[in-house]
Amino acid sequence: MFKNSFLSHADAAQYNRNLVLNYIKDYGPVSRTQIWENMNLSRASVTMIVRQLQELNFVDEVGVGESSGGRKPLYLEFNKDSRLMYIVDYWEPSKVYLVNMAGDIKLESPPLDFPRYCSPSEFSRIVMHGIREIERQIKVDYNLLLGLGFCLPGTIDSRNGFVLHSVELGWQDVNINALFKKYFPKKIYLERTGNLMALGLCNSREDVISCSHFMLVLLATHGIGASLLIRGSCQHGSNYMVGEIGHSKFDDETLCSCGQTGCLEAIIREDLMHNNGEVGNESLTYLSRAISSAINLMDTSLVILTGDLLPKMGNEKQLILIEMIKTQVVSSKQRRLKISMVDNCENAIISGMSAHIFKEHFGV
């Protein structure tokens, strides 16, 4: 959030407030004494900041601790329900979710019936219908709403709010901000589905939290891609195309939806058709080559594989795939490298978007 080396007085105050809020969120319940002892802030500053956070309803006093000789400490806890957000997940079943700042789902819409290749205007109408269905059940104060987040497939310009290209949606250069600014001015967020899965895992799994370089590989029938997190931040690239391993090229004439031939995901899709929906041994070879190349390039210490292709392999082929990847990684026995599989990352998408929106508002 704060990227300049020089901060105005107001920015510095906001920065310190966000620091304290994140500390309470991550480590609460904590006392004021614990905050100033563990952070580079004075006692007076902590007292003032906590008062401000209480006035904003971001933190609550939740109990009294034991005295160590002076006053008994009052413990503070993050009020995760003080702000809410809407999240639209295009991943089937497509729904709108009303979520708190911890990623807990408060309410959800019925499944959204998006027609294949629906127009942007039709997409907007269906999403707003889902939001109105939620608001039939609960009154939502838009002044306390952090925003509307979209989890979408394709090449996503998350900074400017554009879907640059999405085969699944059939879109090219669609401005999501413009579609919804009437209802959510300056509160629109969007990110690629795989990135949000990775962010969600980064907020829920200890092995990911402690990892500086983490890669999630989504192996799905509709597409294959990788998401890279470095110190908890998604990497996008200058063209927002980091992780397009589904378009790794092989000596094969299978036509891909991108218009070229020999793409990994097109080969895998063709293999599924010829093997009654199961992943064949030849596909394992192609997948291991693409994934090991990505590991060799990015030097990640943790790789998690997920997606609906995993059940189509079965446990034996999953283990074979992991071993094939490792044998093609340079110096795999000398480097720190763990490869594991997660069957279901659906909840991670919602958790990832809530973490993304929270960081946009309160990041440091």
The pLDDT tens digits of the residues spanning 57-91 come to 999 998 776 666 566 778 999 999 999 999 999 98
Q: How far is CA 288 from the centre of its chain?
A: 25
Whole-angstrom distance, CA of residue 97 vs CA of residue 88: 6
Instruction: Report which of 119, 175, 117 is spatially closest to residue 150, judged by C-alpha positions.
Output: 175
Of residues 78 and 257, more confidence is placed in 78
Which residues lie below 8 Å from residue 248, measured CB to CB, with a gap of 6+?
A: 263, 264, 289, 290, 293
Tens digits of residue pLDDT in 195-239 = 999 999 888 788 787 888 899 999 988 889 999 999 888 899 899
Tens digits of residue pLDDT in 146-191 = 999 999 988 999 999 999 999 889 999 999 999 999 999 889 999 9
Whether residue 353 sits in one domain with residue 300: no
Whether residue 105 sits in one domain with residue 127: yes
**What percent of the chain clears pLDDT 70, i.e. is strictly above it?**
96
Whether residue 342 sits in one domain with residue 210: yes
**CATH number of domain containing 50:** 1.10.10.10
Backbone φ, ψ for residue 182 (5° rounding): -60, -35
Whether residue 259 sits in one domain with residue 169: no
- Once rounded to an integer, what is the mean pLDDT over residues 106-121? 94
What pLDDT score does 355 carry? 93
What pLDDT score does 209 carry? 79
What pLDDT score does 288 carry? 96
Whether residue 231 sits in one domain with residue 295: yes
What pLDDT score does 333 carry? 77
Tens digits of residue pLDDT in 95-107 = 999 999 999 999 9
Query: Contact, 90 vs 150, CB < 8 A?
Result: yes
pLDDT at 48 over 60: yes
pLDDT at 258 over 80: yes
The answer as to whether 4 is a domain residue is no
The total number of residues shown for the chain amounts to 364
Which residues lie below 8 Å from residue 363, measured CB to CB, with a gap of 6+?
A: 1, 2, 18, 22
- Once rounded to an integer, what is the mean pLDDT over residues 38-61? 94
Whether residue 280 sits in one domain with residue 247: yes
Mean pLDDT, the chain, whole residue set: 90
pLDDT at 5 over 90: no
Whether residue 111 sits in one domain with residue 40: no
User: What torsion do the CA atoms of 65, 44, 38, 55 make, to the nearest 10 degrees?
Assistant: 70
Contacts of residues 52-60 at CB distance under 8 Å and 24 or more positions apart, as own/partner, are 52/17, 53/17, 53/20, 53/21, 53/24, 56/82, 57/82, 58/21, 58/82, 58/83, 59/21, 59/24, 59/28
pLDDT at 17 over 90: yes
Whether residue 103 sits in one domain with residue 36: no
**CATH number of domain containing 354:** 3.30.420.40
Q: How many domains does the chain have?
A: 3
Whether residue 323 sits in one domain with residue 211: yes
What is the Cβ-side half-sphere exposure of residue 351, based on CA atoms within 13 angstroms? 13
Cβ neighbours of 190 (radius 10 Å): 23
Whole-angstrom distance, CA of residue 133 vs CA of residue 306: 32
Q: Is the pTM of this model over 0.85?
A: yes
What pLDDT score does 70 carry? 60
